[in-house]
Structure 1
Amino acid sequence: MTSKDYYFDSYSHFGIHEEMLKDEVRTSEYKRAIEFNKQNIEGKVVLDIGCGTGILSLFCAKVGAKAVYAIDCSEIANYAKLIVKENGYEDVITVIKGKVEEIELPVDKVDVIVSEWMGYFLFYESMLDTVIHARDKWLKPGGIMLPDYLTLNLVGIEDAEYKREKLDFWDNVYGYSMKCIKEVAITEPLVDVVDSQQICTGVQLLREVKVPEYSVEDCTFTSPFELTATRNDYIHALVAYFDTTFSTGHKANMFSTSPQAQQTHWKQTVFYLPDEITICEGEKLTGTLSCKPNASNRRDLDITITYNHNGKWQQAKGQMEYKMR
């Protein structure tokens, strides 16, 4: 089984879809976006990429789509067909099992593309490449995309307790040094829920994704950051999250995966630093974050963070290589 096959097979398990459907923030905001775009969807042709159980297709059919083509590569597509029939929309929704890059639609163009393509850290295991391919092949000029605008953001946090329990633990394991494991463990970003009280800096915008014009090449990027301390504290890690906006309807709506927002299944992505950085209110931690798809599997990511701090009590400078697998 190749890594791509494993990715698609993982989405055939019901637990993943249950988690996503129970993510009230995600599902309700997509529903609101589709309802706010009724005038753009009613009587039009919609393409749902990575349809899963077909919930977004059902939302589109309910607001009056003329036809919805729902594509998924995993076995869940077989159940999506049953769900569509169970709810009486088989004359509107056509479920197609296959890879977007390999199938042909029964129409030349579509009016709307809807997809929940985002992954952890926005880009990890995301379907953005696939959405771009579908956009370039099938979306009519002037067609809309849901969502259409996203941002990737960065903050600094204090997290001494977790770092001590999960990373510094390897320094002394029943009297033995296992630092070689610590050196690997710190390169693996943690996906978890961050307490908003841990945030000790302002927010830095890292990346904008304007979906109607984004390219595959744009998925490789380097972004500078400047984080200003909001209090006297220690920075143990940097935390990334993303915001998602639907701006094409008669009302815009959005949701955030910030630690300060209601929890989603995306949680946040935490990058632990080797240094414990002492920082005073108003001081800055500067650096860059570089991201590129892994050469062996584009759904995996190689991330490099450089950082520099020249403060009253401490000077720190470093570079870390992280791998999201």
Structure 2
Amino acid sequence: MTETEDTPTLCEGDDNDDSDGWDEMEVSGEQTTCLFCPSQFLTIAVALDHCRSEHQFDLLELKTKYNMDCYSFIKMINYIRLHKPDPRIITESWTALWDDDVYLKPGEMEPWLMYDFDDLGSTPSTPHYAIDGKTPISNNIGDLQRQIYELTLQIREKDTLLKNAMQDMAKMREVTKSIVESGDSKNLIPINVASIPVGYDNEYFNSYSHYGIHHEMLSDIVRTTSYRDAILNNKDTFKDKIVLDVGCGTGILSMFAAQAGAAKVYGIDQSDVLYKAMDIVRENNLQDAIHLIRGRIEDTNLPVDKVDIIISEWMGYFLLFEGMLDSFIYSRDNHLSSNGVILPSRCNISIIGISDLDKYNKHISFWNDVYGFSMKCMKNEVVKEPNVETVANEVVITTPSVLVNIDLKTCQTNTVEFSSSFKLIATKTGSVTAFAGYFDTFFDLHNSVSFSTGPHTTRTHWQQTVFYLKTPIEVKEGDTVEGVLKCRRIKKNVRGLQVVITVGQEAQEYLLD
């Protein structure tokens, strides 16, 4: 067909909606706000010229000065939006102030992050999505830009996970090779936390990514005020010192140490809660004193070789559950100076007999008759699972007995495995339905502090670990209950514990797993 017969022409005065020329089409691109003032521009190219002329902020010079890539650019933009610095602070600094992966976290939609930073210096400064200085035509470009940004961050995260997985696989290949060459199959079994590839340890750290557990710990007045008093009542110990906070969580102990006058505090945690800790530190203007690091202490290089003080709240149920004592010991052996201080200083584990028939019937006798059916076969397995619960002081029926004392300056990872005899004297006549385990903690400083997690004191989030007996022990006031408690790691989970309590000829196994 010919143009004159069938092809409509685009005329300047044509009222047909479909015949508008490009120059008449409305644009709907997002406005780009200057990094340092409220001025807005249709393109980033114009915004760049404005920053150079009005604020002496030359992005090309910064790219060369700091050898920046696109990820450095993303972090710098997020840093500027978060802290709103004077441009001279950035241009006159000799270090990249945004060199922290926390600034990679996506926030609100930011047009600057859509700029093709890699092309800066090699092509004209007009952004890759602009045509002749005009904003994009598509109404959906904002959504597309957001998707590109988010996908870029996801790819970076996946690359990091893949890199870590490859490193873990390489470690496992080395371990397997050494086993095969040595013929020693015992080496296959991890003996402590440091021997677990970090990729296999994620489940433990992920449990601390939930904010509920941090609320519970911070709400524990005994726990938190004891650490606070040990630190703030001994400011002379902390003044001008370098401190390491192992398993820093929300950073509460790090902030206490900074408040006490520490020159620098390094907090380390593998859990994602560390990113919130960074926000908390900045919220309290302590970012100059506290440096937070995401990683597992056994696999992370610290900015300093040695520290003056190590603090940590590493204690688990029955003191040793979760195996964080291993990380505490690793920190001590690899990062503490020869005359350094380690806090807490000592701990011990005690056992006591209790008589609580109501709870015994609820947990154990329950299986005798379940809606008319006998389920007694369940009792052997149920008894194996210790309960973490608060024991009322009035149900305590014996004196306590200390099972083990742990000096945290000298103990080793095999401290977790011990065998201890105990002797309990009945203070009342009744039935010993369970044994309860608890621990005491000591800060041996000039102004000493200690706390207990036993039933005779204020409740803590650790409560007590209750080992129910399959068959209660009848006692009269003044009688003695003697036995042996053995504790060791669970082979398939070095953070878990196997406890065996023997009284007379009866031995019962318990698993904290």
- The structure, 1 or 2, with the larger RCO (C-alpha pairs under 8 Å, 6+ apart) is 1
Q: 2:508 aligns with which of 303, 312, 320?
A: 320
Q: 2:282 aligns with which of 85, 90, 100?
A: 85
The residue that corresponds to 1:49 in the other structure is: 246
The residue that corresponds to 2:474 in the other structure is: 278
Alignment of 1:301 with 2:497, yes or no, is yes
Answer whether contact 1:3 1:297 (CA < 8 A) is retained: no
Deviation at 1:36, TM superposition (A): 2.6
Matches within 5 A, 1:56-135: 56-135=253-332
Q: 2:461 aligns with which of 262, 265, 269?
A: 265
Alignment of 1:153 with 2:350, yes or no, is yes
Answer whether contact 1:151 1:206 (CA < 8 A) is retained: yes
Alignment of 1:206 with 2:403, yes or no, is yes
In the alignment, the residues of structure 1 paired with residue 216 and residue 296 of structure 2 have an alpha-carbon distance, to the nearest angstrom, of 23
Answer whether contact 2:307 2:337 (CA < 8 A) is retained: yes
The percentage of aligned residue pairs carrying the same residue is: 43
Answer whether contact 1:31 1:59 (CA < 8 A) is retained: yes
SS in 2 for 1:300: strand
**Which stretches in structure 1 are left out of the alignment for 5+ residues?**
309-316
In the alignment, the residues of structure 2 paired with residue 207 and residue 36 of structure 1 have an alpha-carbon distance, to the nearest angstrom, of 28
SS in 2 for 1:125: coil
Matches within 5 A, 1:233-272: 233-248=430-445, 250-272=446-468
The residue that corresponds to 1:313 in the other structure is: none
Matching residue's letter, 1:83: I
Answer whether contact 1:111 1:139 (CA < 8 A) is retained: yes
Answer whether contact 2:380 2:470 (CA < 8 A) is retained: no
Larger Rg over CA atoms: 2
SS in 2 for 1:186: helix
Answer whether contact 1:187 1:321 (CA < 8 A) is retained: yes
Matching residue's letter, 1:319: A
Q: 1:245 to 1:234 in 2, by over 3 A?
A: same
Q: 1:290 aligns with which of 486, 491, 499?
A: 486
Tell me the TM-score normalised to structure 2 length. Answer: 0.61
Deviation at 1:126, TM superposition (A): 3.8
Deviation at 1:95, TM superposition (A): 0.4
Answer whether contact 1:189 1:323 (CA < 8 A) is retained: yes
Alignment RMSD, CA only?
1.2
Q: Deviations over 1:180-221 (max 9, x none)?
A: 222101110000000000011101001111101010011110
Matching residue's letter, 1:321: E
SS in 2 for 1:105: coil
In the alignment, the residues of structure 2 paired with residue 210 and residue 98 of structure 1 have an alpha-carbon distance, to the nearest angstrom, of 27
The residue that corresponds to 1:22 in the other structure is: 219
In the alignment, the residues of structure 1 paired with residue 236 and residue 493 of structure 2 have an alpha-carbon distance, to the nearest angstrom, of 39
In the alignment, the residues of structure 1 paired with residue 404 and residue 380 of structure 2 have an alpha-carbon distance, to the nearest angstrom, of 28
Answer whether contact 1:4 1:297 (CA < 8 A) is retained: no
In the alignment, the residues of structure 2 paired with residue 254 and residue 81 of structure 1 have an alpha-carbon distance, to the nearest angstrom, of 29
Q: 1:2 to 1:278 in 2, by over 3 A?
A: farther
In the alignment, the residues of structure 2 paired with residue 293 and residue 37 of structure 1 have an alpha-carbon distance, to the nearest angstrom, of 36
Deviation at 1:166, TM superposition (A): 1.6
In the alignment, the residues of structure 2 paired with residue 83 and residue 186 of structure 1 have an alpha-carbon distance, to the nearest angstrom, of 42
For these two proteins, the number of residue pairs brought into alignment is 316
Matches within 5 A, 1:31-42: 31-42=228-239
In the alignment, the residues of structure 1 paired with residue 352 and residue 393 of structure 2 have an alpha-carbon distance, to the nearest angstrom, of 10
Deviation at 1:53, TM superposition (A): 0.4
In the alignment, the residues of structure 1 paired with residue 199 and residue 421 of structure 2 have an alpha-carbon distance, to the nearest angstrom, of 35
Deviation at 1:2, TM superposition (A): 7.0
SS in 1 for 2:209: coil
SS in 2 for 1:132: helix
Tell me the TM-score normalised to structure 1 length. Answer: 0.95
Answer whether contact 2:323 2:494 (CA < 8 A) is retained: no
**Which stretches in structure 2 are left out of the alignment for 5+ residues?**
1-197
In the alignment, the residues of structure 1 paired with residue 362 and residue 415 of structure 2 have an alpha-carbon distance, to the nearest angstrom, of 37
Deviation at 1:179, TM superposition (A): 1.5
In the alignment, the residues of structure 1 paired with residue 200 and residue 321 of structure 2 have an alpha-carbon distance, to the nearest angstrom, of 14
Deviation at 1:4, TM superposition (A): 2.2
Greater helix fraction, Structure 1 or Structure 2? 2
The residue that corresponds to 1:175 in the other structure is: 372
